Amino acid sequence: MNKPTVLVSRKLPVNVEARLARDYNGIFNPDDRLYSTEELLQQTAQADAILPCHTEHLSAEVIERLPDRVRAIANYSVGVDHCDLEAAKRRGIVVTNTPDVLTDATAELTILLMLGAARRASEGERLIRAGKWTTWSPAFMVGTEITHKRLGIIGMGRVGQVTAKRARGFEMEIHYHNRRRLDPNKENGAIYHDGLASMLPLCDILAMHCPSLPETQDLLNAEHIDQLPDGAIVVNSARGAVVDEDALIEALKSGKLAAAGLDVYKNEPNIKRDFFELDNVFLLPHVGSATKETRDAMGYRALDNLDAIFAGREPKDRVA
């Protein structure tokens, strides 16, 4: 029996590529090049499925141009905002993602963003690397403790819940806004708000964990930032599109916000240069899932979905 052919858009972990090569005919990307749209379409000519990352923008136009033989798009990501699901449905292409396996890594990173922003980590590291650390005083590099602070979470899904669990280790008071209230057994003392207006004024730190959807575009805008306490800290490890970056930059410049910790951006990797000029922002290059354990698990989850599709079974993580 001929093995299905799978186009792999980026270089994957060694163990994941080894399993894929064992079970499929793989079209790999050993140089880890970011394909243009035309290059990507050329590569799909012999493919029965595509295993893309969030770096590949599978718009409705791109999906309409895919060969008829493409049966599945098994995303190597939880977020699927880079993939037009309605267009895939129209073509009868099954689309999957990789939930659950990124939860711990992304929650860990959220805590890192909180600490990095609150304790001025980027500023301190730059000072040392530039050889400009020359003295100490009680007023030197004073930041903010997160212990006992009030943490607001927008989006209390898997990652939001684990972030809350980790934050309780700092004895933080947890507030959250979600489309639906959690079962009380899952709240563990977190305080639910059915709207942002009641939650934002209570947030010493605000963590964005909502998906990128039409209704969440620029959710954290100037109006909502203004509702935060003066000197609040914002962290975002979700998607860049959920934050109005111009409003965030203005609030960081004015002092309305004390700091921000960001791992995601609207036009990454081409992010606004204004961020580079600000000392009070802690920047990371979209590494929320960047642990060996998680990256392997993501690949295995994507392959589990492909295994199910080509065996005629319903994949566990179908989103379209």
CATH number, position 304: 3.40.50.720
Q: Which residues touch 97 (CB under 8 Å, ≥6 apart)?
A: 75, 77, 78, 79, 80, 317, 319
- Assigned domain for 141 exists: yes
Q: Which domain holds residue 205?
A: 103-283
Angstrom distance (rounded) from CA 60 to CA 229: 41
Question: Per-residue pLDDT averaged across 15-25, rounded?
Answer: 98
Q: Are residues 133 and 251 in the same domain?
A: yes
Q: Are residues 94 and 195 in the same domain?
A: no
Determine the pLDDT at residue 155.
98
Q: Are residues 70 and 27 in the same domain?
A: yes
| Span between the terminal Cα atoms of the chain, in Å | 28
Q: Are residues 16 and 123 in the same domain?
A: no
- Assigned domain for 38 exists: yes
Determine the pLDDT at residue 34.
96
Q: Are residues 229 and 122 in the same domain?
A: yes
- Assigned domain for 17 exists: yes
For the chain, give the longest Cα–Cα distance.
73
- Assigned domain for 316 exists: no
Q: Are residues 39 and 133 in the same domain?
A: no
- pLDDT at residue 44 tops 70: yes
Determine the pLDDT at residue 22.
98
Share the mean pLDDT of the chain: 97
Q: Are residues 112 and 75 in the same domain?
A: no
Q: Are residues 194 and 80 in the same domain?
A: no
Q: Are residues 84 and 124 in the same domain?
A: no
- Assigned domain for 37 exists: yes
Q: State pLDDT tens for residues 199-214.
A: 999 999 999 999 999 9
- pLDDT at residue 1 tops 90: no
Kindly tell me the burial class for residue 106, based on how many C-beta atoms sit within 10 Å of its own C-beta (0-12, 13-18, 19 or more): buried
- Assigned domain for 73 exists: yes
Report the number of distinct structural domains present in the chain: 2
CA dihedral over 147, 149, 152, 156, signed as positive or negative: positive
- Assigned domain for 320 exists: no
Q: Which residues are catalytic?
A: 239, 268, 286
CA distances from 154 to 150, 183, 243, 274 (A): 13, 17, 12, 25
- pLDDT at residue 94 tops 80: yes
Q: Are residues 140 and 60 in the same domain?
A: no
Determine the pLDDT at residue 253.
98
Angstrom distance (rounded) from CA 199 to CA 234: 14
- Assigned domain for 264 exists: yes
Q: Are residues 73 and 177 in the same domain?
A: no
pTM to 2 decimals?
A: 0.94
Rg (CA), the chain: 21
Q: Are residues 238 and 276 in the same domain?
A: yes
